[in-house]
Amino acid sequence: MTETPSLIDEVGAWINEDPDAVTRAALSSLLAAHTAGDASATAELTDAFSGSLQFGTAGLRGRLGGGPHRMNRVVVIRAAAGLAAYLKDRLGEGFSVVIGYDARHGSAVFARDTAAVVTGAGGRAILFDRHCPTPVLAFALRHLKADAGVMVTASHNPPQDNGYKVYLGGRAVTDSGRGAQIVPPYDADIAAAIAAVGPLSSVARPESGWETIGEEIVEEYTAAACVSRVPAAADLKIVLTAMHGVGGQICRDALRRVGFDDVVVVPEQFEPDPDFPTVSFPNPEEPGALDLSLALAREVGADLVIANDPDADRCSAAVPDPHTPGGWRQLTGDEVGSLLGEQAAELAAFAGTGVLANSIVSSRLLRRIAQAHGLGHRITLTGFKWISRVPGLVFGYEEALGYCVDPKKVRDKDGISASVRLALLASVLKQQGRSLLDLLDRLAREHGLYATSPLSMRVEDLSFITEAMERLRAGGGPAHLAGSPVVDVFDLLDGASDGNGGQLPPTDGLIFKTAADDRVVIRPSGTEPKLKCYCEVVVPVAVDEPVEVARRTAADRLERIKTDLKAVLGI
């Protein structure tokens, strides 16, 4: 075969610089196989060295392995050195960075490397002494008034992935985004600093010198998740799954502190396990992810199922429902968002001020809820880096199971605090002889039934997503959805309204609205190789009809919309 000297040289140079014996050995083995003519080894090396992982508003995320297009110690050390250089340039020596990590493969090492780099650059590194949930890191950033935060996690991605989230706070950000994940222009400035990092040998990495924190911050966080909350109004039997992640013990403790003593954990999924052996994807949204939880709920006669994702920044819930096969129904992210939004709006209305916010791909119902309580409402781009920095925020959510219920303490989605809030709401309703489903029915009667359902396509070839978006923009979008003509098309690259007279920054996405007031938002995922369609229908509820009739109408219309979208997208 024809050799590729440039690839061989690049791999060799990487091996010489890599401080990790495991990735050095793996790359050496691949290089030997490549030179022997192994096509699979050539493909793997070509991809691993096809470019660099791009640092952006989501930080870094990718497959573990050697090479610039993978998550590894070289990439992390460079990222940490760039972040430290950025902070030192803005703030001088003595800048502070708090560093947390989950239980994934490589997370602890990546976090320690970051602490060493920050220390070597003249900063104050504050490293968690064990793995922690993402919201605990976000809490620590604000609680300790640190200038930046780093969380090593790939959240709910597959086990072969890892990632690197960056937050700014303290002196680095002074507006309502203090403590939130980065947005432009911070991402570009930090990326430029990363690109300017020289040879790895020039990056100082002392063996010690950083501070460690642990149980004291976890205690402060847990207390904050429970403070100012009325205790449980009625007993609930709760089934809790941690999805093999790091939030199980803290979430169970928080629930017990507000009076929920009957919490039954899913034992197969409660302890951290980076291989996630019981699920295909450790994401509560994925089909089958809650099978063990629902089976246990039926067995013990539970009132509520709560599921956190592996880094515990997301919360999913399921409730008994006689209209659903199997007797249990997993609530959508929008339904939980509406329930928590109504709860937050009732609390904020007493103060007479506050803003509710949700991402542009989430349900339009939250705006109706805010208006009904005399509160403000904002629409943001997708991601809590945008939602959590809304001025005056009292509650924010996005349909992907993310809820910010206490922005003063945690400016990010927080699956543990959301679990506490939802359980307390369910207990109050139970005391009144009602349920979470009854509250959803009440909201439907007051505002109309807003029903949502996603259509996601995971792809191997990312060009499918690019070509699909180009085709839709060129007039290849749907003319009708569920029999109703499409009357408005909005290209989010041109910006969109934030619902309060402002404009959102441009982003890659399209909105299709029909004469029936149904809506579809189509956009590429920012963290996974997916094209995502967010479908929503609005069905009026007649005074004399059960809400379940409207739900069946909505479910049928959503399926018809998804059928139409599949035809347009060629899937």
Say which residue the tokens 């246990």 belong to: 296
Give burial (CB, 10 Å; 0-12/13-18/19+) of 287. exposed
Give burial (CB, 10 Å; 0-12/13-18/19+) of 268. middle
- Collapsing DSSP to helix, strand or coil, 259 comes out as coil
pLDDT of residue 5: 56
The C-alpha atoms of residue 505 and residue 490 are separated, in whole angstroms, by 14
Question: Each residue of 172-185: pLDDT tens digit?
Answer: 999 999 999 999 99
> 267 and 244 in contact (C-beta within 8 Å)?
no
The C-alpha atoms of residue 546 and residue 8 are separated, in whole angstroms, by 68
Query: Can you spell out the DSSP letters for 365-396?
Result: HHHHHHHHTT-EEEEE-SSHHHHTTSTTEEEE
208 counts as catalytic: no
Q: What percent of the chain has pLDDT over 70?
A: 99
pLDDT of residue 116: 98
Write phi, then psi, for 53 (nearest 5 degrees): -60, 130
pLDDT of residue 211: 98
> 112 and 133 in contact (C-beta within 8 Å)?
no
Residue 352 pLDDT level (bands cut at 50, 70, 90): confident
pLDDT of residue 497: 84
With vertex at residue 229, the alpha carbon angle to CA 228 and CA 233, rounded to the nearest 5 degrees, is 150
Q: Which of 52-61, 229-238, 447-456 has the highest mean pLDDT?
A: 447-456
Can you read off the two tokens belonging to residue 256? 């017990």
**Annotated catalytic residue within 155, 359, 363, 453:** 155
Three-class SS string for 338-355? HHHHHHHHHHHHHHCCCE
Give burial (CB, 10 Å; 0-12/13-18/19+) of 216. exposed
The C-alpha atoms of residue 358 and residue 379 are separated, in whole angstroms, by 5
Cα–Cα distances in angstroms (integers) from residue 499 to residues 46, 496, 504, 549, in the given order: 46, 9, 10, 31
Residue 92 pLDDT level (bands cut at 50, 70, 90): very high
Cα–Cα distances in angstroms (integers) from residue 287 to residues 266, 275, 506, in the given order: 17, 18, 32
Closest alpha carbon to 464 in 570, 541, 380: 570
Closest alpha carbon to 68 in 81, 80, 78: 78
Write phi, then psi, for 168 (nearest 5 degrees): -120, 140
Can you read off the two tokens belonging to residue 36? 């022997």
The C-alpha atoms of residue 81 and residue 528 are separated, in whole angstroms, by 26
Is it the case that residue 431 has pLDDT exceeding 70? yes
> 158 and 44 in contact (C-beta within 8 Å)?
no
Pairing assessment for the beta strands 263-265 and 304-308 based on DSSP bridges: unpaired
Is it the case that residue 1 has pLDDT exceeding 70? no
Three-class SS string for 48-64? HCCCCCCCECCEEEEEE
pLDDT of residue 408: 94
Pairing assessment for the beta strands 96-101 and 124-128 based on DSSP bridges: parallel
The long-range contacts involving 551-558, CB below 8 angstroms and separated by at least 24 positions, are 551/323, 551/449, 551/451, 554/449, 554/451, 555/451, 555/453, 557/451, 557/482, 557/518, 558/451, 558/452, 558/453, 558/482
Question: Each residue of 196-247: pLDDT tens digit?
Answer: 999 999 999 999 999 999 999 999 999 999 975 578 999 999 999 999 999 9
Is it the case that residue 391 has pLDDT exceeding 70? yes
The C-alpha atoms of residue 113 and residue 65 are separated, in whole angstroms, by 16
Question: Each residue of 286-312: pLDDT tens digit?
Answer: 999 999 999 999 999 999 999 999 999
Say which residue the tokens 């809506």 belong to: 519
Cα–Cα distances in angstroms (integers) from residue 131 to residues 9, 80, 108, in the given order: 37, 19, 7
125-134, 225-234, 539-548: least confident range: 225-234
Residue 461 pLDDT level (bands cut at 50, 70, 90): confident
Running DSSP on this structure, what letter comes out for residue 497?
B
Residues 140, 141, 143, 146, CA torsion sign = positive
Ordered by where they begin, the domains of the chain are 1-50 (no CATH), 54-213 (3.40.120.10), 219-330 (3.40.120.10), 333-445 (3.40.120.10), 448-569 (3.30.310.50)
Pairing assessment for the beta strands 328-330 and 355-359 based on DSSP bridges: unpaired
Cα–Cα distances in angstroms (integers) from residue 254 to residues 257, 316, 321, 373, 431, in the given order: 5, 16, 26, 29, 21
